Amino acid sequence: MNTVPETHYSATAKWLHWLTLLLMLGGYTLGFIMADLPVSPTRLKMFVSHKWIGVTVFLLSLIRVLWRLAVPPPQPVAMPAWQRLASEYTHRAIYLMLFLLPLSGWLMSSAHGFQTVYLGVLPIPDLLHKDKALAETLEEVHESFALLMLALLAVHVAAALKHHLIDHDGSLRRMLPRRGA
């Protein structure tokens, strides 16, 4: 049995973390661009890709939470108690938004009457009947969730950079590939 405390996240946790970052970058880029485009086949393709990304983020986050329960993360690096608490609650809020953001998009899309066909092959059941007024409300909810997630990620990245560049406490390295491993 391994009794040495883990200092790094597992390789799987790292893959899931950085893959999610890439997907979020793609999802946000498409989301911001397509919002202002006039109706066109290009805009439609962007919507479709945006929705596929959302479903992928949802599924990966499910795997990620299950993985985290099975393989706990390393103990936090030394820091004042308030920072540890802030980091724990920011992480929890990010996890929650990783589900609520795609879910609100799925509900909105259902209320608009646009079914999602994942990767063009797997139809995902609509959760709501077509309802224009509800779709407009859900659109606002989805946008607000997207902005809230951005704010959380801004805090998260700022904290990661502060720990790396100012505190030099090695916390960023815990999430990066191990050299020589």
Binding region for ligand HEM (CB under 6 A): 17, 20-21, 24, 68, 73, 76-77, 91, 94-95, 98, 153, 156-157, 160, 171-172, 174-175
The smaller minimum CB distance to ligand HEM, of residues 45 and 89, is found at 89
The C-alpha atoms of residue 26 and residue 51 are separated, in whole angstroms, by 11
The smaller minimum CB distance to ligand HEM, of residues 50 and 174, is found at 174
Measure Cα distances from 72 to 16, 120, 126, 174, 176 in Å: 14, 35, 35, 13, 17
Lookup result for tokens 């599924």? 59
The smaller minimum CB distance to ligand HEM, of residues 65 and 141, is found at 65
The kind and range of the H/E element at 108 are helix 81-112
CB within 8 Å of 58: residues ≥ 6 apart: 98, 99, 102, 103
> Up-side HSE of residue 74: CA atoms within 13 Å toward CB?
19
The smaller minimum CB distance to ligand HEM, of residues 90 and 137, is found at 90
**Two tokens, residue 57:** 């983020």
The smaller minimum CB distance to ligand HEM, of residues 31 and 135, is found at 31
Sequence-ordered strand ranges (E) for 52-121: 116-118
- Supply the minimum distance, in Å, between the C-beta of residue 47 and ligand HEM: 21
- Supply the minimum distance, in Å, between the C-beta of residue 64 and ligand HEM: 8
Sequence-ordered strand ranges (E) for 98-167: 116-118, 122-124
